[in-house]
């Protein structure tokens, strides 16, 4: 049984405090607690307790070679986690903490090796969500927390997503309502020169470059997963993935609409139930096309409109929830519209590519549908 406790801001302060104090005690006792952050829900354990950390891997079905992020409540406690703290780390922490930025630094041995999957480094961030901060303060130690989903599934942005994946596998879930950012934190490796962006997220590459000057992009961010050694082990797995096979369709809205229409007709005719995740602009273009009869009738199509194309923040906030919804609607094939990889669009493009297992369809502009 998983106990769900509401801790959103409609819950009276005292009641919330009591719930978080108890959750903090449970973390100290080596138990797992799922909790909201501003990015996605996390599955927390005491980062100094190897048995507790191993419970995270077991509950998620996470491969043991994929390291976890350690969460602290204030910058001052970074010294308890990192063996050395380079100047840029303090500068970035000053600018972006609390917030969706994770820094990879040399690991201190107070953090157990299981957290880092044996690596000499540790990934650390200071989350902004008040529930996360109060919980970590009550735990009074660094908290290791990956996203609170089953390994490989889209990250949870609502408590109900956590319950669906981990219900019965964890004792306690703190429900703080929907997450504001919707995609995970940016992971920046500060142990190499120049720093390397391992995972785009809530803090943009442009923002990091404006502070640090040069920041390299790990080739895995938009390309195929590497075959050689990986710097961020999490990058090598198919991830954020809906159960149905998915494809990414890239191009302008009219081109995407034409391509999607052609594929929907073809697949619906073959008895597939097609799920679409598209922008408002493309939905408008498609509106006219889809008013034409589809083989198999309306039951062959489930359309989710994410938002306007030039609002990658909105895409980010809704992406994972909509992927889950397409699964629940029984889609057997999914088509997702790509976004330009600029600003928050880079994080969205990265998650979409990985959800699609790097299957990309280019929609060519103009001319007759191919
Ligand atoms: O927003 C977030 O970061 C959320 C919330 C809960 O804080 N957490 C999260 O954790 O996304 P997780 O475990 O799902 O992703 C951790 C990522 C993985 O890609 C992992 O490979 C990378 O961080 N990572 C962790 N430790 C690392 C290290 N020492 N070196 C390189 N990459 C590391
Ligand atoms: Mg994850």
Summarised one tens digit per residue, pLDDT across range 202-260 is: 999 999 999 999 999 999 898 866 555 556 655 555 667 788 999 999 999 999 999 99
> Number of helices (H) and strands (E), helices first, in the chain?
10, 16
Residue whose Cα lies nearest atom 15 of ligand 1: it is: 146
Q: How far apart (Å, rounded) are the C-alpha atoms in residues 247 and 337?
A: 9
- What percent of the chain stands above pLDDT 90? 84
Listed range (26-30, 184-188, 200-204, 269-273) with the worst mean pLDDT: 269-273
- pLDDT (average), residues 68-81: 97
φ/ψ (deg, to 5) at 365? -75, 150
pLDDT recorded at residue 243: 85
Q: How confident is the model at residue 67 (pLDDT cuts 50, 70, 90)?
A: very high
Q: Is any ligand 1 atom within 6 A of the Cβ of residue 183?
A: no
Structure token pair of residue 126: 């200071």
How far apart CA 282 and CA 233 sit, in angstroms, is 35
Span from the CA of 21 to the centroid of ligand 2 (angstroms):
26
Contact (Cβ atoms closer than 8 angstroms) between residue 172 and residue 27: no
Mean pLDDT of 160-174: 98
Q: Under a CB-based contact definition with an 8 Å cutoff, are residues 273 and 301 in contact? A: yes
Out of 62, 67, 72, 73, give the residue to mutate to test ligand 1, the one with the largest number of ligand atoms within 8 Å of its CB.
67
Q: What is the pLDDT of residue 362?
A: 94
Mean pLDDT of 84-105: 97
Task: Identify the CATH number of the domain defined by range 246-362.
Answer: 3.40.50.11030
d(CA 326, CA 244): 9
Please indicate whether residue 202, judged by its CB atom, sits closer than 6 Å to ligand 1. no
Q: CB-based contacts of 98: which residues, under 8 Å, 6+ apart?
A: 126, 127, 128, 133
Q: Read off the pLDDT band of 366 (50, 70, 90).
A: confident
- Mutate which of 69, 101, 135 for ligand 1? The one with the most ligand atoms within 8 Å of its CB, which is 69
369 has a pLDDT exceeding 60: no
Q: Is 191 in the pocket of ligand 1 (CB under 6 A)?
A: no
Least distant ligand from the CA of 99: 1
Residue nearest to atom 29 of ligand 1 (CA): 122
Strand order in the sheet with 101-106: 3-6, 172-175, 33-35, 42-46, 143-144, 69-71, 121-125, 101-106, 186-189, 196-199, 216-217
Q: Is the CB of 268 under 6 A from ligand 1?
A: no
Beta partners for residue 5, in sequence order: 174
Q: 43 CA to middle of ligand 2, Å?
A: 10
pLDDT at 370: 43
Distance between CA 283 and CA 303 in Å, rounded? Answer: 9
What is the distance in A from the centroid of ligand 2 to the CA of 291? 39
Q: Atom 12, ligand 1: which residue's CA is nearest?
A: 146
Rounded distance between C-alpha atoms, residue 18 and residue 41, angstroms: 20
Q: Which residue has the tokens 């995270």?
A: 56
pTM of the model: 0.94
What pLDDT does residue 240 have? 73
Kindly tell me if the per-residue pLDDT of 300 is higher than 90.
no
Ligand 1 closest atom vs CA 43: 6
C-alpha 122 – ligand 1 centre gap (Å) = 10
Burial of residue 139 (number of CB atoms within 10 Å: 0-12, 13-18, 19+): buried
- Work out the percent of the chain whose per-residue pLDDT is above 70: 92
Atom of ligand 1 minimally distant from the CA of 231: 31
> For 322-352, how does the pLDDT look when each residue is reduced to its tens digit (9 = 90+)?
999 999 999 999 999 999 999 999 999 999 9
Name the CATH superfamily, with its identifier, for domain 3-221: DHBP synthase (3.90.870.10)
CA 283, CA 308: separation in Å to the nearest integer?
A: 10
pLDDT at residue number 18: 98
- Give domain limits for the chain: 3-221, 246-362
Residue 69 main-chain phi, psi, to 5 deg: -95, 135
pLDDT the model gives residue 358: 83
Between the two ends of the chain, the Cα-to-Cα distance in Å is: 52
Q: Is the CB of 146 under 6 A from ligand 1?
A: yes
- Model confidence over 303-326: pLDDT tens digits? 999 999 989 999 999 999 999 999
How far is Cα 340 from Cα 256, in angstroms, rounded to an integer? 13
The token duo for 362 is 């280019």
């Amino acid at each position: 049984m998983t106990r769900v406790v509401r801790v959103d801001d409609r819950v009276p302060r005292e009641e919330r405090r009591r719930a978080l104090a108890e959750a903090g005690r449970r973390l100290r006792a080596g138990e797992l607690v799922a909790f909201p952050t501003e990015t996605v829900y996390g599955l927390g354990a005491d980062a100094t307790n190897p048995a507790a950390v191993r419970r995270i891997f077991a509950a998620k079905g996470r491969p043991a070679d994929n390291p976890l992020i350690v969460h602290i409540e204030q910058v001052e406690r970074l010294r308890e986690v990192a063996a050395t703290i380079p100047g840029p780390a303090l500068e970035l922490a000053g600018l972006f903490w609390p917030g969706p930025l994770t820094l990879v630094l040399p690991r201190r041995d107070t953090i157990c090796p299981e957290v880092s999957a044996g690596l000499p480094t540790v990934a650390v961030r200071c989350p902004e969500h008040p529930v996360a901060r109060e919980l970590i303060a009550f735990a009074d130690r660094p908290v290791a927390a990956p996203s609170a989903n089953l390994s490989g599934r889209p990250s949870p942005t609502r408590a109900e997503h956590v319950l669906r994946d981990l219900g019965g596998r964890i004792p306690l879930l703190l429900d703080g309502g929907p997450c504001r950012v919707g995609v995970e934190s940016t992971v920046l490796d500060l142990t190499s020169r120049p720093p390397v962006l391992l995972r785009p997220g809530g803090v943009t590459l442009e923002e990091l470059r404006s502070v640090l000057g040069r920041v390299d992009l790990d080739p895995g961010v938009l390309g195929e997963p590497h075959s050689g050694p990986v710097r961020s082990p999490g990058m090598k797995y198919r991830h954020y993935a809906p159960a149905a096979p998915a494809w990414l369709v890239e191009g302008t809205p009219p081109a995407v609409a034409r391509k999607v229409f052609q594929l929907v007709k073809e697949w619906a005719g073959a008895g597939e139930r097609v799920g679409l995740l598209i922008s408002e602009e493309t939905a408008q273009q498609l509106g006219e096309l889809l008013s034409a009869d589809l083989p198999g009738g309306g039951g062959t199509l489930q359309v989710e409109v994410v938002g306007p194309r030039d609002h990658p923040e909105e895409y980010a906030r809704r992406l994972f929830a909509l992927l889950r919804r397409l699964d629940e609607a029984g889609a057997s094939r999914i088509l997702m519209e790509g976004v330009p990889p600029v600003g928050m669009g880079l994080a969205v493009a990265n998650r979409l590519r990985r959800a699609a297992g790097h299957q990309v369809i280019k929609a060519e502009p103009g001319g007759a549908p191919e």
